[in-house]
Structure 1
């Protein structure tokens, strides 16, 4: 992992849930892939938890929202619900990495398109 990615701030907001060192370590571990790939472009990540059904524990009651701030983009947010918090974190982290990948791909595609238009606009052949 790059030094930049390892220093990326992750703000965990537990909402109505109690977090533990194990939960926080799980969040960091699950976001490690996104940091390795996109850490240089990311400025911050917020992770929000909520127990939707309270103490009843019925169905998918763990809710996780992850929001990443990526240079040059509006914040990217994803959400996941599951029967337990670890599964919700896992699903949200996968979704976040995919969403960041799509956003970065769009940025790269637009930059290449502008570069080609600029080059072909001068001489018409692209050879300048």
Structure 2
């Protein structure tokens, strides 16, 4: 499973930010490791310089093997909260998807 981190022009991407979020993603989605080819994480600040609550956005796109990509979005006041919310949604969606496949 490859983890790719992308940021918009309003978020400064650093090696530390990338390694932290990649490690958290791998740890959280570890049980799906053999069923996922790639995870793309997109961070954005929708208001740029202006202050606003819930203006940080995290979009996670998970690419399961031989299935359509699963995309989830979360808005929050910080990148960490947006990321953890989106990661929880992605994990739930993957669990549901693979359970449905198992039933057939």
The alignment's TM-score, normalised by the length of structure 2, stands at 0.90
Q: How many residues align?
A: 102
> 2:78 is matched with which residue: 71, 81, 84?
84
* 1:95 CA drift (Å): 0.9
The structure whose residues are more often strand, as a share, is 2
The answer to whether residue 50 in structure 2 is matched with residue 56 in structure 1 is: yes
Distance 2:89 2:57 in 1: 14
The structure whose residues are more often helix, as a share, is 1
* 1:29 CA drift (Å): 3.1
Tell me the equivalent position of 2:60: 66
What are structure 2's unaligned runs of at least 5 residues? Answer: none
Tell me the equivalent position of 1:98: 92
Higher relative contact order (CA 8 A, sep 6+): 2
The answer to whether residue 35 in structure 2 is matched with residue 41 in structure 1 is: yes
Distance 1:82 1:23 in 2: 17
Tell me the equivalent position of 1:13: 6
What are structure 1's unaligned runs of at least 5 residues? Answer: 1-7, 111-128
The answer to whether residue 101 in structure 2 is matched with residue 107 in structure 1 is: yes
Two-structure CA RMSD over aligned residues (Å): 1.2
